[in-house]
Amino acid sequence: MMVGFRMKLDSAKWLACILAVAFVAFLLFGFTGFRSVIAIAVLFIVPSWLLLRKTGLDLEEKMFFSLFIGLGLFPLLVFAVNQLVPSFRLSIAAAFAAIAAVAFSWPKILGKLRRKRQ
Amino acid sequence: MGEEHQPESAASSGFKLGRAWVAVGALAVLLVVSMWLWTLPFQTNPMPFGEGDSAWHFAIGDHISSSDKAAYRLPYYIGVWYYGFNRILGPFAPEYPPSSHVNYAMMQVAGADRFVPVFIYRAFGSFLGVVAVFFVVWRLFGVLPAFLAGLGLAFSLREQMTYLFGQQPTLTAIVLTPVASYAWFRFLVSLYERKVNYSYLFAAFALLASQFMLHIQGFAASVVFIGVFSVLMAVRFRRIPLSMRVAVRLALALAVLAVVAAPFAAIYLGAGDVVSRSGFGRLFEWGISPDDVRGSFPESFVSFSAEYPSVVLPFLAAGVLLLLLRLLLVRNNVKELFVLSWLVGMYIVVHLDVFIPTGLNRLARMLVLENHVFFTLIAMSVVWLPQTLSSLLRFDGKLVSAAKYSLAAVLVVSIVFTSGESGSNSLKAAYGGIDRITPVQADFAASYLSTLPDDAFVYDPSVKIVGQWRYPKMRWMLAVSRRHIARYEGGEIAAADFIDKSRIYFMFDYSDIALLASSQQYQQQAALWAGQLQQVEQQLFNGTAPVYDVNNIRLYRYEGVGGVPA
């Protein structure tokens, strides 16, 4: 429980860092600036973060790797989904949903497979 | 100086959870400074800026969001720009994998604005080297050198120029190299320690795939860095710890990377770049000569003295010397080996033209890697110098600490008052006045040019007359209007088979010349240019009524009456 609390506190620190940058963007460019910085965090960090969260990397590695992986691979997924889904805007949401579904289901599937093996 | 006997592990890297606050604060300062600094070009002037490349990348992302479709083929107005550039995929083929342009489109959608979100993303994607190097140096050596290296990069002239020129996708791909190399470093160290952590292996390959999708130059640099570090580790420990289990996972990661990359390989393989091989003599040059990139980059882009102010050179020299010393004296020197692989890898990458045919113009962009490793060495000198002297001469701990922070303060002041001052001045002044598309031109492009047929081909004869400064503005008018505009150099009109003769227009834009004429200093020059442009206009359209004539901009529909001599 203590470890979980620490993890949440550490995540909050990084969230505060993102919000600080978003605030500066707000001062410079108004709400568009704020939205843009939040969009960078949500579009490029969150998808890969969901996939990396159960790996053997530490919090900071997950966060920074997520950003750098997300910059090149999340748009690729959106592009691929858009070849099937007629709308680009819908494809962004669909790609996000697909990643969330995989991220939340694969640990359960792996767990089941392990139990079966035993 | 025998600090440890085994390779460094993630667990024993000296990283403490409590110190995360300091790291968060340091990174927040760097990000806030960079966000303010790198967005200076569009804080007061919201018009788009950058060279032709900048407009080209923007146009593709803008097309995706405006058409609500990320198509593989380029639309007419962008596709005829570098028509037939790809020898394998043919006309209208993309010149990059889709990631960067999809990112632009996503930013437009999420930011709910056509320009500002894309330019914020561009600024972020360009100063990302600060974040990448901060992360790697922090994880290996601590917050202080990470902050110092990040600060140096925040003010890096070379990265700022690449950003201003609009080559941000290449820059973003290249700045991923330290992070991909770090992931591989962690994997390899875990392998040598016999506590193998495959998460690092898959992270490294995911980062490589990400780089491949952004720009192949970043991917190539990482492959070289990873190769160099792997060889150095094998030599250092005199073994290659490759078991069957590891080999299978490595093969699996390679297979996944190949599957992801294969559909886009022809984009790079078919590229029609002009490439050549240099002689072995170039191995004795450190960087790239200004003569080799004249016309593409200013001299200051490849100049060593322009990038590193003379006050930081003693720190750099000390950093290199101390690295070599520590490689010899420190028993557990894997982190130093990593920095060495960075240095050697960078040298190989910048001299790739000696080994494989390469375009030096493209290779010049790799010099950004030099900034990463040099600013790391500059920052490390602050930590290594007191630490090494203390080990050799048995100094007091407090004295070492005081020396470290004093040197850091000197370095911060040196960077801020040299690169920092010049960097902020040049970013503030970037593309000022008529160097950038004006509101009149943007309005003409958005409200009139955009109503022309999709396959309209608009010629602009002004670039040949007024000079190259007009070229990026013309391309930005293309991006804003979503209609093709090309320079007219004289000679035959509609010679190419992709131009529909009934869709040709000529634009005579006197608005810049009029603005210049309002200044006493440029009146004579403006009158000369106006006369030359008018001459072309009369030769081509004498007696013909323009279809648009507002704010010193005239547009004619071409009816096939011949051209002017080239």
Among chain B residues, the shortest Cα distance to A14 is held by B24
Q: In chain B, whose CA is at the least distance from the CA of A3?
A: B17
pLDDT of residue B560: 73
Question: How far is the alpha carbon of A26 from chain B, nearest alpha carbon, in Å?
Answer: 11
pLDDT in tens, B412-450: 999 999 999 999 999 999 998 899 999 999 999 999 999
> Most A CBs within 10 Å: which of B44, B199, B256, B267, as the mutation test of the A interface?
B199
Work out the widest C-alpha separation in chain A, in whole angstroms.
Answer: 58
Of A13, A14, A87, the CB nearest to B68: A87
Q: CA angle, B424 as apex, B420 and B428 as ends, to 5°?
A: 175
CB B20 within 8 A of CB B67: no
Partner-chain contact A72 B99, CB within 8 Å: yes
What's the average model confidence in pLDDT over B459-466?
94
Q: Do B20 and A55 touch (CB under 8 A)?
A: no
pLDDT at B8 over 50: no
Cα separation, A16 vs A1, in Å, equals 22
User: Based on the domain organization, do B350 and B451 belong to the same domain?
Assistant: no
Q: Of B408, B429, B450, which closes a domain?
A: B429
Q: What's the start-to-end Cα distance of chain B, in Å?
A: 72
Question: How many whole angstroms separate alpha carbon B135 and alpha carbon B186?
Answer: 13
Inter-chain CB proximity B210 and A65 less than 8 Å: no
State the Cα angle at B322 between B316 and B328, rounded to 5°.
145
Same domain, B420 and B445: no
B357 DSSP 8-state letter: -
Alpha helices in B142-215 (DSSP H): 143-154, 157-165, 168-175, 177-192, 198-214
pLDDT at B1: 43
Lookup: tokens for B71:
């198509």
Contact B176 A71 (CB under 8 A): yes
CB-CB under 8 Å, A10 with B17: yes
Alpha carbon separation from B181 to B222, B224, B239, B320, B408 (Å, rounded): 6, 10, 20, 20, 26
Alpha-carbon gap, residue B134 to B120, rounded angstroms: 20
Tell if the CB–CB gap between A32 and B113 is shorter than 8 Å. Answer: yes
Contact B68 A75 (CB under 8 A): no
Contacts of B69 in chain A (CB under 8 A): 82, 86-88
DSSP-derived secondary structure for B269-298: HTB----B---GGGGGSSS--GGGGTTTS-
* A65-96 residue pLDDT tens: 999 999 999 999 999 999 999 999 999 999 99
Q: Which domain holds residue B516?
A: 438-557
Domain shared by B334 and B381, yes or no = yes
Distance between A9 CA and the closest CA of chain B, angstroms: 10
What is the pLDDT, as a whole number, of residue A3? Answer: 57
Cα separation, B516 vs B521, whole angstroms: 8
| Chain A residues touching B112 at Cβ < 8 A | 32, 35
Instruction: Note whether B159 and B126 are within 8 A (CB).
Output: yes
Q: Are B417 and B460 found together in one domain?
A: no
Tell me, yes or no, whether B213 and B308 share the same domain: yes
Q: Is residue B507 part of a domain?
A: yes
Taking the C-alpha atoms of residue B227 and residue B29, their distance in angstroms, rounded to an integer, is: 34
Contact across the interface for B179 and A73, Cβ inside 8 Å: no
Task: Over range B243-247, report the average pLDDT.
Answer: 93
Instruction: Report the mean per-residue pLDDT for chain B.
Output: 91
Evaluate whether residue B566 is within a structural domain. no
Mean pLDDT of B95-101: 95
Share of chain B above pLDDT 90, in %: 75
Number of domains in chain A: 1
- Give the pLDDT mean for B169-193: 96
Say whether B206 and A88 touch across the interface (CB within 8 A): no
pLDDT (0 to 100) of residue B18: 62
The nearest CA of chain B is from the CA of A50 a distance in Å of: 14
Say yes or no: B249 and B313 in one domain.
Answer: yes
Q: Report whether pLDDT(A1) > 90.
A: no
Confirm if B344 and B381 have CB atoms less than 8 A apart.
Answer: no
What pLDDT does residue B14 have? Answer: 46
Best of B30, B102, B116, B214 to mutate (most A CBs within 10 Å, chain A): B102
Judge whether B120 lies within some domain. no
pLDDT band for position B11 (50/70/90)? very low
Q: Report chain A residues whose CB lies below 8 A from the CB of B31.
A: 17, 20-21
Residues B41-94 have pLDDT tens digits of: 999 999 999 999 999 999 999 999 999 999 889 999 999 998 888 889 999 999
Q: Is the CB of residue A39 less than 8 Å from the CB of residue B103?
A: no
Considering only CB atoms, A10 lies closest to which of B20, B39, B103, namely: B20
Q: What is the pLDDT of residue B6?
A: 40
**Structural domains of chain B, count:** 2
Q: What is the DSSP letter of B73?
A: S
Question: A57: nearest CA in chain B?
Answer: B199
- Which residues of chain A have a CB within 8 Å of the CB of B107? 36, 39-40, 43
- Do B312 and B414 touch, CB atoms closer than 8 A? yes
Angstroms from B348 CA to nearest CA on chain A: 24
- B331 and B457 assigned to the same domain: no
Q: Are residues B162 and B187 in the same domain?
A: yes
Distance from CA of B517 to the nearest CA of A (A): 33
CB atoms B260 and A88 under 8 Å: no
- Is residue B193 one of the residues assigned to a domain? yes
Let me know whether B364 and B471 are in one domain. Answer: no
Put simply, the answer to whether B212 touches A72 (Cβ < 8 Å) is: yes
Specify whether the CB–CB gap between B183 and B205 falls below 8 A: no
Cα radius of gyration rounded to whole Å, chain B: 26
Confidence (pLDDT) at B226: 97
pLDDT band at B561 (very low <50, low <70, confident <90, very high): low
Residues of B in contact with A77 (CB under 8 A): none
**Least Cα separation, residue A89 to chain B (angstroms):** 7
Interface contact B24-A82, CB threshold 8 A: no
Going from the C-alpha of B360 to that of each of B148, B201, B320, B349, B355, the distances in angstroms are 31, 32, 27, 11, 13
Q: Which domain covers residue A62, as residue numbers?
A: 2-117
Cβ of A55 and B203 within 8 Å? Answer: yes
Asked whether B103 and B61 are in contact (CB, 8 A), the reply is: yes
Q: Looking at the structure, tell me whether residues B215 and B273 fall in a common domain.
A: yes
A87 interaction partners in chain B (CB closer than 8 Å) = 68-69
Residue B397 lies in a domain: yes
| Tens-digit pLDDT profile for residues B326-345 | 999 888 899 999 999 999 99
Question: Residue B2: its pLDDT value, please?
Answer: 39
Whether ipTM > 0.90 holds is yes
Q: B375, B407, B429: which is the final residue of a domain?
A: B429
Same domain, residue pair B196 and B335? yes
Please tell me whether residue B422 adopts helix, strand or coil conformation. Answer: helix
Q: Identify the domain boundary among B429, B455, B486.
A: B429
**Distance from the A73 Cα atom to the nearest Cα atom in chain B, whole angstroms:** 5
* pLDDT tens-place string over residues B294-324: 888 889 899 988 899 999 999 999 999 999 9
Torsion sign over Cα B433, B434, B436, B438: positive
Assign B228 a pLDDT band (cuts: 50, 70, 90).
very high
Residue B497 has a pLDDT of 81
**How confident is the model at residue B338, as a pLDDT?**
97
User: Confidence band (pLDDT; 50, 70, 90) for A4?
Assistant: low
> Is B545 a residue whose pLDDT tops 70?
yes
B509 vs B242: which has the higher pLDDT: B509
Q: Which residue of A has its CA nearest to B195?
A: A56
* Residue B356 in domain: yes
Mean pLDDT of B101-107: 97
Domain contains B49: no
Contact assignment for B199 to A17 by CB distance below 8 Å:
no
pLDDT of residue B293: 86
CB-CB neighbors (< 8 A) of A88 in chain B: 64-65, 67-70, 105, 109
**Whether residue B166 sits in one domain with residue B275:** yes
Percentages of chain A per state (helix, strand, coil), in multiples of 5? 90, 0, 10
Q: Do B99 and A79 touch (CB under 8 A)?
A: yes
pLDDT of B3 strictly over 50? no
State residue B10's pLDDT score.
42
> Which pLDDT score, from 0 to 100, does residue A113 have?
81
CA dist., res. B66 & res. B554, Å (int)? 27
- Residue A2: the pLDDT is 57
- Mean pLDDT in chain A? 90
